[in-house]
Amino acid sequence: MGNKLRYSFETYAVSGARKGDKSTGAISYPLYLSATFKHNGLNESTGYDYSRLQNPTREEAEKTIALLENGKEALAFSCGMAALTACVHLFKSGDHVILSEDLYGGTFRLFDEVYSVYNIEASFIDTSDINKVKDAIRSNTRGIIIETPSNPLMRVTDIKAISDICKAKNIISIVDNTFLTPYYQRPLELGADIVVHSGTKYLGGHNDVLAGFAISNNEEIIEKLRFMQKSTGAILSPFDSWLLLRGVKTLHIRMDRIQENAIKIAKWLECNKNVEKVYYVGLNNHKGYEVNKEQSSGFGGMISFRVKDKKYVENLLSNLKVISFAESLGGVETLITYPFTQTHSEMPEEIKRKLGIDEYLIRLSIGIENIDDLINDLKSVLE
């Protein structure tokens, strides 16, 4: 476990790890653009030498995210995939890794195409079924990577159950917490070894920064990840670190408004005659509803749904006025995405169809706009 927090999540989100700059009194933590730092003499470092190794603004972003996830340390990367790539370097040739089968297409590509040539084996299974996880474990299994809720079908995996399995068998557990953020879910408190984020999404929150994080309480893992961070150089820039810090200040406010909108939209979609199925963990008929309530304090703002007729897909993607047709998620703007040709385009078609990621599936990332405007926008193309 991380340190016991003295203040609330909201207070740390607003104040950051250092409550501004101690030397100047600046409330907004300064943007340090220097690539290198002056030494006062031989073996006399200020603690900062070269910004690939550490930068004061990036350090503040890392310490703030570590506080919010209740972890010992966080490491900030240039994007979410860079953070996950650093985690993959914890494994070696001949190791086997289990992953959620319903997960971001870029993660699938990383294991299926990039690291497979280094003989890191990957099995993609339904991790919401704990028995399937147990059955998939081999003698060389060294890691289990889950998304919960998953992307795009919102499957919920029991984090504590996975963590307990991993601890019993000396396997590293990695949880992608991008969808719910540390405001609603803190996997380290449930026993996970590592939490990863695409900070581009809700943490930044304004579709203006690329960022990634890996957070842990395990000192050995932290040292290995920091070594990979400085060695590969996929670090978060000072300016992007500053943008991330600014975005995090309103994370709790944004998430509450996003969730409020999402619940109303999910219920509206459920009642629409042209919608076949709605996937949202905040609906009490969702398969993972109870598990999510047990391990999280909220449901987030991600919704997927299936239309009954493909004609509504083009209508949705072409004629919405308030909602934008765009990749990504987690910003203040509501976005609509077509996983079949966008986020999961590089998954083999037979796997996509097996999972139900087909021409009928639509994904929504709910924003903070006026709820009536959002529903009326959907109504204009679905009725």
Record the tokens describing residue 163, joined without a space: 């963590």
Which one is catalytic: 95, 102, 126, 176?
Answer: 176
Which one is catalytic: 12, 29, 32, 104?
Answer: 104
Known catalytic membership, residue 176:
yes
- Amino acid making up residue 84: L
> Which residues lie closer than 8 Å to 332 by C-beta, 6 or more apart?
205, 206, 207, 254, 367, 368
Distance (Å, whole) CA 96 – CA 145: 11
In the chain, how long is the greatest CA-to-CA distance? Answer: 74
Check if the beta carbon of residue 79 is closer than 8 Å to that of residue 105: no
> Which residues lie closer than 8 Å to 167 by C-beta, 6 or more apart?
173, 191
> Among positive and negative, which fits the CA dihedral 221, 227, 232, 235?
positive
Query: How long, in residues, is the chain?
Result: 383
Which one is catalytic: 201, 254, 352, 363?
Answer: 201
Q: What are phi and psi of 308, to 5 degrees?
A: -80, -25
Neighbouring-strand partners of residue 145: 99, 174
Angle at 100 between CA 99 and CA 106, to 5 degrees: 80
Which one is catalytic: 21, 52, 246, 306?
Answer: 52
Q: What are phi and psi of 25, to 5 degrees?
A: 85, 5
Rounded to a whole number of angstroms, the distance between the first and last alpha carbons of the chain is 50
Distance (Å, whole) CA 103 – CA 346: 12
Which residues are known catalytic residues?
52, 104, 176, 201
